Structure 1
Amino acid sequence: MQIVTEGALRLAGYAAVFDVPDRGRDVVRRGAFAGVRAEGVPLLWQHGAERPVGRLVHAEEDARGLRIVAELARRSRGAAEAAALVRAGALSGLSFGYRTRRARRDRARGLRELLDLELVEVSLVTFPMQPLARVIGLFGEEEQ
């Protein structure tokens, strides 16, 4: 399966990690992103709808969490800045925006379990809610 255009700058990582509570006491459960599609999902800068820096080209659940591949927008100043910060190790966090379809409270542990989610966006962030949600690689030629 070809998931990126030749010569494109892309990044891969985990936007969510299963079964690990985030800083807000939410925990994403395996299956929450069942059937997720990357088509139409933007890659944003710090959750800013006014600051898109690319788009998802692949998203799927694996044993660890929601693994994504995103293509950074060519000739975009914001995407070039994001790539430079990732390369420098100054930024590696990922986060996601979502709509809850199904969740339940685990009152004994003080958690909200997210069981079925609609993925709305993925963002490069400085401080991810889920500390393990990170960029794991930046690949391709930068033509920006």
Structure 2
Amino acid sequence: MNRDYWALEVRSADDDARVIEGTATTPVPDRYDDIVEPMGALYKLPMPLLWQHNHDAPVGHVEFAEPNEKGIPFRARLARLDEPGKLKDRLDEAWQSVKANLVRAVSIGFLPLEESQLEHGGYRFLKWEWVELSLVTIPANPEATIHTIRSMHRRTAPAASGNTGSVVVQLDRNPARVGAKPFVIRKVHVRE
């Protein structure tokens, strides 16, 4: 399975709903010089939302994705659980990491169906099966960052009372490049 990493922009972070929105992929070269064509995506919703590409660590579902020529905007919901245990801890860790801007990127997990090699050595994925979206720490695309987070928090009473507050955090639009590369699994070989 291939992985490609792109920007996560959280437009709203409601602690009860745990809904995030962003861009799953765009048709620009990643750090490996690969291009994933948004209009070539084949997928079914709801799609698994994973934690750090760990197939044993689902944290929610992608509820909306609509490809266009510029990319694939998405909406996903992280699960919420009140029962104590490992699952609740993982769900809360994922949600808190996104809200605290510690995890600011997403990555698509996909299976290539039709591809061509580019002159510079990368691949253009023309048709692909999108099987999962992951919240990730280190993106392959150096521009894959969250630009704005809008979060609704309770101040002293539940939202039903009308006592809500809004927090907007603007992040640096020119972050330092991350040197570490995650591994990418191609059809036949592993590239680091």
TM superposition score normalised by structure 1 = 0.79
Deviation of residue 36 (structure 1)?
3.8
Give distance in 1, aligned partners of 2:142 and 2:106: 9
| Higher-Rg member (1/2) | 2
Secondary structure of the corresponding residue to residue 79 of structure 1: helix
Partner of residue 13 from structure 1, selected from 22, 34, 44: 22
1:130: how far off?
2.8
In 2, distance between residues paired with 1:138 and 1:51? 26
Residues in 2 aligned to 1:85 and 1:12: alpha-carbon distance in whole angstroms: 15
Task: Specify which of 45, 59, 63 is matched with residue 51 of structure 2.
Answer: 45
Aligned partners of 2:40, 2:136: CA distance in 1, in Å? Answer: 22
The number of residue pairs the alignment matches comes to 132
Moved over 3 A (4+): 131-142
RMSD (Å) for aligned C-alpha atoms: 2.3
Q: Give the match for residue 95 of structure 1.
A: 107
Q: Residues of 2 paired with 1:67 and 1:9: CA distance?
A: 17
**Which secondary structure does the structure 1 equivalent of 2:98 belong to?**
helix
* Farther-moved stretch of structure 1 (49-58 vs 59-68): 59-68
Q: Taking structure 1 as reference, are residues 30 and 121 closer, same or farther at Cα in structure 2, changes over 3 Å only?
A: closer
Unaligned runs of 5+ in 2: 1-15, 82-87, 155-192
Q: Matched residues in 1 for 2:150 and 2:64: separation? A: 14
- Superposed, 1:54-69 pairs within 5 Å as 54-69=60-75
**Among 105, 108, 124, the residue aligned to 2:135:** 124
Q: When the two structures are superposed, what TM-score results if normalisation uses the length of structure 2?
A: 0.61
Return the letter of the residue paired with 1:13. Answer: G
Deviations 1:49-73 (Å, cap 9, x if unpaired)?
Answer: 1110001111111343111111101
With over 3 angstroms needed to count, the CA separation of the structure-2 counterparts of 1:38 and 1:120, relative to structure 1, is same
More strand by share: 1
Gaps of 5+ in 1: 1-6
